[in-house]
Amino acid sequence: MSRSLEQKLFHSAGYLFLIALAVLCVLPLLFIFGGSFTSEQSVIRNGFSLIPKEWSLEAYELAFKNPKDLFQAYFISFSVVAVGTAAGLLMTAMTGYVLSRRDFKYRNFFSFFIYFTSVFSGGLVPWYIMMVSYLDMKNNFLALILPLLLNVFYIIVMKSFMSGIPFEIIESGKMDGANELRIFFKIILPVSGPALATIGLFIALQYWNDFFSAMLFITDQSLMPLQYYLYKMVNSMDALSRMASMSGVPIPQMPKETLKLAMTALVVLPIIFVYPFVQRHIIGGVTVGAVKG
């Protein structure tokens, strides 16, 4: 096979493959938004299609008729992301930093102490019983934060990033009479920007998309984060009829199917807004992590 023919074949195959993949990756969004703007009548008659046959805003009108629950869910989700990310990132950075200090004598012991939990755990049942019976986490805001607060893998990534910072910087800080906290906050954190950005993003994304914690611990409507609220809307008639009755819409007239998609669209919306700004951090972060090995 001649080289230019091979090259042409490879390039055409590559473009075909990648463009098909790229289309598949955004298509779901178009389906969701398309469906959410369709009139319920046309959905009942013909089902969903990519481009709405009859446009309608009825689903969004219902969603915003009595938006108390929805806004409360946004508020809970944003609070969980803010508190969880700030606390989780600080603790990940501190733990990773101490474990990266070559002159810290017990770092191998503590590293193993942390690492072992990713290899073996007691399983879901003892953990759940402890959370509920001993730590009182049922319908507790902290139940949305604690399960994802620290992650062994992120600590390891943080540790290996901070091991790359020249030790002389720390020594010169000590020489100038700075204590450990000052060294950490004034010297180490400022030069760890890329690692903090990436891991912070991962933690935030995990909190934003988490519904497992809520499913286990939350039954109180006012503590429901967005993802779990959506899950309930889509999977239980109760949640839908609660919404209808609170907005004063008779249940038979409720745009049931389109409402589910409108809710989904409202849940995805914040991601669509921040995505352009954050995705390059993830790309950068993975690249750094992979090269380090």
| Window 77 to 96, contacts with another protein (CB under 8 A) | 91-92, 94-95
Residue 102 in contact with another protein, rule: CB under 8 A: no
Phi-psi region for residue 123, left (φ > 0), alpha (ψ -120 to 50) or beta?
left
Among 37, 60, 74, 184, binds another protein (CB under 8 A): 184
Measured between its terminal Cα atoms, the distance across the chain in Å is 37
Q: How far apart are CA 214 and CA 216, in angstroms?
A: 5
Question: Which stretch in 56-64, 67-75, 99-107, 161-169 sits in contact with another protein by CB under 8 A?
Answer: 99-107
Query: Which pair of structure tokens corresponds to residue 138?
Result: 């049922």
Residue 144 in contact with another protein, rule: CB under 8 A: no
Q: How far is the CB of 11 from another protein (least distance, A)?
A: 5
Residue 293 in contact with another protein, rule: CB under 8 A: yes
Residue 125 in contact with another protein, rule: CB under 8 A: yes
Residue 275 in contact with another protein, rule: CB under 8 A: yes
Q: How far is the CB of 245 from another protein (least distance, A)?
A: 22
Among 101, 138, 242, 281, binds another protein (CB under 8 A): 101
CA separation, residue 201 to residues 84, 207, 213 (Å): 11, 10, 19
Query: Which pair of structure tokens corresponds to residue 216?
Result: 């286990």
Residue 217 in contact with another protein, rule: CB under 8 A: no
- Classify 274 as helix, strand or coil: helix
Q: How far is the CB of 280 from another protein (least distance, A)?
A: 8
Q: How far is the CB of 250 from another protein (least distance, A)?
A: 21
Q: How far is the CB of 132 from another protein (least distance, A)?
A: 9
Q: What type of residue is 161? A: F
- Give the residue with the Cβ less far from another protein, 224 or 248: 224
Query: Which pair of structure tokens corresponds to residue 85?
Result: 């990310």
Q: What x-and-dash track marks residues 164-183 binding another protein by CB under 8 A?
A: ---------------xxx--
Among 37, 39, 43, 60, binds another protein (CB under 8 A): 43
H/E segment holding residue 293: none
How big is the site for another protein, counted in residues (CB under 8 A)? Answer: 97
Contacts of 154 (CB under 8 A, 6+ apart): 92, 96, 199, 202, 203
Residue 108 in contact with another protein, rule: CB under 8 A: no
Among 26, 168, 250, 252, binds another protein (CB under 8 A): 26
In angstroms and rounded to an integer, the radius of gyration of the C-alpha atoms of the chain is 25
Q: How far is the CB of 238 from another protein (least distance, A)?
A: 14
Which residues in 247-286 are b (16+ Cβ under 10 Å) and which e? bebeeeebbbbbbbbbbbbbbbeeeeeeeeebeebeeebe
